[in-house]
Every structure is written in structure tokens, then in C-alpha cells.
Structure 1
């Protein structure tokens, strides 16, 4: 039996993170084809070697002309041309001397006579040199999770492969007696959204022996064990970690999530999350996710807004607070409690450190956005 740690034996959230991150280095970057890089974390900043486009380019189909030749043109006073101007299509380079592209209907041809019935401005229907990317600009920074737009930029720069980091996370689910796996499924999806690959396996029963055996595997960058960290008679995850000399600490001053355990198998960080969804989610945000972001080099989004209401927190425990963006302020929804109802309405979360008794109304609060962390 693994009794839940008493409050006095809990280590601080800061200490737990410090122990896990002490020997944690970013995963080695690997070059992957652009077609496979979506959702990976970029290891090196993308830099444009030259301007893009490299020459003035049509953004629509039409007639290429010089705008100053069309000043004053109207349907009642058309400008006559000596010959039919060049026709260009979207993406074509503009002919020399041209600075605009007219829509097809603005030019009329009546027998040998060609006339324009509307004037335009320089650059109309044109993407100018360097308008998308300036030379030596850095449009995609290292640490960004690559989006479809980022891949378009990489192709525009002329790249075929990208150096990315995508850690491999082994998730070991130690299911509860009722066999529910919703917590493990949520964490697995959160890991993927954080830019990592998942190897998932389910322990047979609740003795966590399989979980312990997995610590012998060397092919992953991080191990997450879900369940078996509490006070149930069959909870044996922490004992299994201790038997493998992999346990660093059990019991974190975190609400919810106090029965979380941390460890290390060789250089591989191990986080054992409680099986309850709210506790696992809190420990994922505050302990496991920072470790995974260290491995991938990812930078996640933060947003700073004033608090609409005071947040009160008891000293000694780090409290996870759910926030909703309302009228350019953070409105606290729940403190130390992650109900599904609050989660469905929340936009962000923040941790009140154990050394703090909370924040006053109006305090500028920097929070993590839920869309980037779950």
C-alpha cells in the first residue's frame, strides 16, 4: 500500500521541476522533409537568403501596364494604346517597365483600336519585390511549432528539409479498477499537441510491474506513467519506481495533483501522474509539460492581462487557477479545482506559487493559453 504523502512531506513545485530539469537537455534535432514537418518544433530559425518574391509578380490575371500611362482614364475619356499590352497570370513576373496589372474588363479592343477605361495606381494587382519576405528576415523562429503557413514560407525560401525536434514520449497507463482510460487518452492527445510522438502501452492490472519494466527501454525521451500514485491498496507505481532506483520524489505541494511522483531512468525524465483527470491535468501542465518543452525547445504562448477579481491562495501549496478572458481581463473561474464545467469555459491557466497568498484584483497576471497546453 502507498499512503498519500502528508502535507509536511511534500516538496515544492519549484523543487520538483528543478530536480527533473537538472539533467534534461533538448533532444537532438533531425532533418525531415517539409511534407512531414507539420506539428514539429523548429530547431533552427528560418532565415530568408534573399527577398521574396525576387521580382515584381502579378497577383491576378490581367493586362500588365505602366500606371502613369493611364492617368485620367474613364469610360467617357478612355486612354488609347498603340498595341495590346502583355497578358500576365497570377504568379507571373511583370514585364520590364510595368508596375500594375489591370482586370481584363478594363481594357477594350474594338477592331485595331485598344483603349483603357479606368486608371489605377502603381502596384495594383502586383506583389512587389520583398513584400512577402525581406532579405535576411527571420520569419519563423526556433522553438515554434510548425504550422501549414510556416511550411509555405519554408518552401518560398527554397528549403526542402527542416531541422526539427520531436521527442518520443512513452505513456504507460496503469488503469483503475473500472478500466477507464479517459485520463490516459487526454494526456496522450496533449502530448501530441505539444509536438511529440507517443508510444502508448497499458499495464496489466494495477501492480505497475509493466510500468517498471518499461524503464529499461532506452528509445524514448520521456516516460509518463498515469495512475497508481495514490493511496489505494493496489496502487504500486511509486513502489515500482523506487525498486528500479528511478524515484526522485513522491508528493508535490500542488493542488490538485499532490500525489504526483517524479523520477529518472538514466537520463530519461519520468513523471507519474495521478489517475484522476483533474489531478493528472494539473501535474501535466505544471511539471510534465515544462520538461517536454525543454526536450523539444518549444516556446508556448502566454498572455498578460489584469485580474478582474482577487485570487486567494493558501500558503504552502501551489494552486492551479483556471481563467476566462472577459473584457480584456482575466476572470478567475476556479482555484485548485479543475472541474469539467470550468475547463469547458476556461481560456487559460496560471499557477499561484506556494509561497504566495494570492493576487489582488487588478494585478497583471501572465497566464498560459489552454489551446497550447492541452
Structure 2
């Protein structure tokens, strides 16, 4: 599907005669694209990667009843009626336990040491306790048959805590390999570095980062080089416009079986998408704001598919201001939390200042007429914590 570009001066997309809709661009990238195979990754490298499978718990934890408080172990039935006015006497000193110690046989509670007096061979308990007080039953932490990780969810610090408690040193995860070609000069260096940082923060592995001048032969050689080294996704940054030195698309055109240049997207309309030998390829504009927008709209869904990630969570809140539609273009809108609402802070052009302030974003579909103030909308977190 294509759409006519808006007049010159309305944004990056205005330089193209016809644009590919965002939906069509994503369909081209995602068609028949399967999650990458699982790899066993050391725990200290797994944080943020997407879990590939559920890990069944073969042995419950703890393996035996254990104390969760320091004190003396008793049977709760032996403490019935105990108080400071009417202590219960014992002629055998109870077993003292500390947090993590196995509970002695026949004991089902732990009484704080301040509530137990020991003198002249006589022990007095001055409080009652209920069964299970100050202790954890065998299997309470993790039950046999349960799961330590959830497939499709990013590995969190809690997942790593559970894995270490189970004695594991690695986890099976899906970690797409992303190769990045930085086209241009130092002016586009920050954008290419952002793409690498973004991909890594989403759990991907950076297979390569190649720097190449804005020269057709050099760009082609860089593409061939990183593809030969192997990757699951190729991303080029810079040189996607129609300037005299913008040769990225030309270098891709001679190698891709499918290529669409110009997406009905604002910002980020000069992006290109395609396939080389079945491999998804995304060419992003080099300007930071445009690169971020195209990354969120195009790169992020591809990484989700390659990593087998579950559908992302959204927040549904009312808008603190209206969002107008340009008509025919999918528009990214940056949002900032304002009390119990979301305030639009940037549409069409993303400055670094607005990106730094934003908490969330949404994409207004090309066929939409926009959103009125007060309307509830679904928004994605701009960047998610693991």
C-alpha cells in the first residue's frame, strides 16, 4: 500500500512521491519471520534477554522446613495459653534456630528469644505462637512442577534470583544478533550508537558495528562484510535521504530481493525496509529524532518477533491535550505523565529535549483523525526497565 506524500516542508516524508504505509512496511519485515533459536546464556549475561522456555522445578524449595526468624523452635500446641502472667514451663531446653536453619523434628513455629527465659535448667515460654510462625514449609518458595521463568518475558532480576536459588548457572534465552552499519560521518555516530544501545537494552546481541563513508561502493562492501559474518537483522543508519551523498538505498537496491524506500511515518519517513536473502533489513535516517522514531516504529517490532517476546504491556490513560492527525501518515507522539493523564509533548519532530522528557509514546494510524483531549489512549513506555 502506498500513499501520496504531503507537500514539501511538512517533514522528511515530503521529499518522496509515494510512501509505503507503516502497516505494509511492517508486514514486509515480519512476514514468515520466526523467533531465533534458543541459546544457553550465563546468568550474568541474561538480564534483559527474552526467556526461551519455562524451566520446570524438579525439586521444591526449601527442601525441608526452615526457620525464617531467629529464636527458639517449638510445637505451637505446647505453647497454648502461654503469657507473661502465666508462662509455660519446659524442663528440656528448646532448640535455638537462626534464619535458614532446618527446623527440628516435631517443631512447627519459632518464638522470639525475648519471649523465652532460661534459668537454672528451667525454660519458660511467655507467649503463644501459631503453626508456621517464624518458619517456611518445605516447597513454600518453589513447588515441584512449577516454573522458574516465563517464555516470552524478559529475564528480570527476580528470575535470576530464582535461577541462582535453584543452583543454575545459565538460562535458555532468545537473543537476536543485530548488525549495524553506520553510514556517514561523526554527525551520525550518536544515532548509530543509540541503535546499538537500544537493541542491547532489548536483549539483542550486537553482532557487528561497521563504520563506512558515504560512498556507494564502501556502503556495499560494509553490507557484504557484516552479512558474511552472520546476523539475524541488518540495520543501516544514515544516508537514507535523496541528497547527492545519500547512497544507502542504492547500495541496498542491488542486494535486496524486496525493498521499499520511504515510509508513511512522521518522523522517520525516509526510512527503508527490505529483505536480503530472507534477512530483514532496516535503513534508518541518521538525524537523531528521526532515527529514534523509526526505531520505535520499525526496529522494535522486528526485535520482538525475533526474540519471541510476548505482547508488550500498555498504559491506558486520558489525554491532557488533543492530538491532531496529518492524514495519510502514521505519526509518533511523545507523551509525558501529567497526574493521571498523558500530555502530548512532541508530534512530527522530536528534539533531544522532548525525548529526554518523554515517558511514553503512541502511534496515530494514518487513517485516524487524531484524538480529542480527555480521550483514553493506549500508550507504550518509551523505554522499559527490565
Please give the residue correspondences for 1:133-152 in structure 2 after superposition, counting only pairs within 5 Å.
Answer: 133-138=142-147, 140-152=149-161
Please give the residue correspondences for 1:312-323 in structure 2 after superposition, counting only pairs within 5 Å.
Answer: 312-323=324-335
User: For residues 348-371 of structure 1, what are the alpha-carbon distances to aligned partners after superposition, in whole Å with 9 as ceiling and x for unaligned?
Assistant: 111001111112333332211122
Q: CA deviation at 1:51?
A: 4.1
2:50 paired with 1:41: yes
Aligned residues of 1:208 and 1:228 also touching (Cα < 8 A): no
- Equivalents in 1 of 2:257, 2:247: separation in Å? 14
Please give the residue correspondences for 1:232-251 in structure 2 after superposition, counting only pairs within 5 Å.
Answer: 232-245=243-256, 248-251=259-262
Please give the residue correspondences for 1:202-351 in structure 2 after superposition, counting only pairs within 5 Å.
Answer: 202-207=210-215, 209-216=217-224, 217-218=227-228, 219-245=230-256, 248-299=259-310, 300-351=312-363
Q: CA deviation at 1:123?
A: 2.2
User: For residues 223-266 of structure 1, what are the alpha-carbon distances to aligned partners after superposition, in whole Å with 9 as ceiling and x for unaligned?
Assistant: 11110111332111011111223551000010000000112221
Q: Which residue of 2 is the match for residue 107 of structure 1?
A: 116
Aligned to 1:188, which of 196, 214, 220?
A: 196
Local SS of the residue matching 2:234: strand
Q: Which residue of 2 is the match for residue 360 of structure 1?
A: 372
Local SS of the residue matching 2:244: coil
Aligned residues of 1:37 and 1:164 also touching (Cα < 8 A): yes
Aligned residues of 1:211 and 1:225 also touching (Cα < 8 A): no
- Equivalents in 1 of 2:111, 2:17: separation in Å? 76
Q: CA deviation at 1:19?
A: 0.5
Local SS of the residue matching 2:158: helix
Local SS of the residue matching 2:150: coil
Please give the residue correspondences for 1:28-177 in structure 2 after superposition, counting only pairs within 5 Å.
Answer: 28-49=37-58, 51-138=60-147, 140-157=149-166, 159-176=168-185
Deviates more, 1:344-353 or 1:88-97: 88-97
- Equivalents in 1 of 2:302, 2:380: separation in Å? 15
Aligned residues of 2:336 and 2:360 also touching (Cα < 8 A): yes
Q: 1:306 to 1:136 in 2, by over 3 A?
A: farther
- Equivalents in 1 of 2:242, 2:13: separation in Å? 5
Q: CA deviation at 1:201?
A: 2.9
Aligned residues of 2:13 and 2:266 also touching (Cα < 8 A): no
Count how many residue pairs are aligned between Structure 1 and Structure 2.
371
- Equivalents in 1 of 2:183, 2:139: separation in Å? 55
Aligned residues of 2:40 and 2:171 also touching (Cα < 8 A): yes
- Equivalents in 2 of 1:179, 1:230: separation in Å? 15
User: For residues 2-47 of structure 1, what are the alpha-carbon distances to aligned partners after superposition, in whole Å with 9 as ceiling and x for unaligned?
Assistant: x977454101000000001113211111223445433321111233
Q: CA deviation at 1:145?
A: 1.4
Aligned residues of 1:4 and 1:231 also touching (Cα < 8 A): no
- Equivalents in 2 of 1:65, 1:19: separation in Å? 67
Q: CA deviation at 1:85?
A: 1.2
Listed as ranges, the gaps of 5+ residues in structure 1 are: none
Deviates more, 1:253-262 or 1:145-154: 145-154
Listed as ranges, the gaps of 5+ residues in structure 2 are: 1-11
Indicate the RMSD between aligned Cα atoms, in angstroms. 2.4
Aligned residues of 1:347 and 1:369 also touching (Cα < 8 A): yes
Deviates more, 1:72-81 or 1:16-25: 72-81
- Equivalents in 2 of 1:162, 1:139: separation in Å? 10
- Equivalents in 2 of 1:253, 1:143: separation in Å? 30
2:376 paired with 1:371: no
- Equivalents in 2 of 1:168, 1:373: separation in Å? 21
Q: CA deviation at 1:322?
A: 1.0
Local SS of the residue matching 1:215: helix
Aligned residues of 2:188 and 2:287 also touching (Cα < 8 A): no
Deviates more, 1:325-334 or 1:274-283: 325-334
Q: 1:136 to 1:302 in 2, by over 3 A?
A: farther
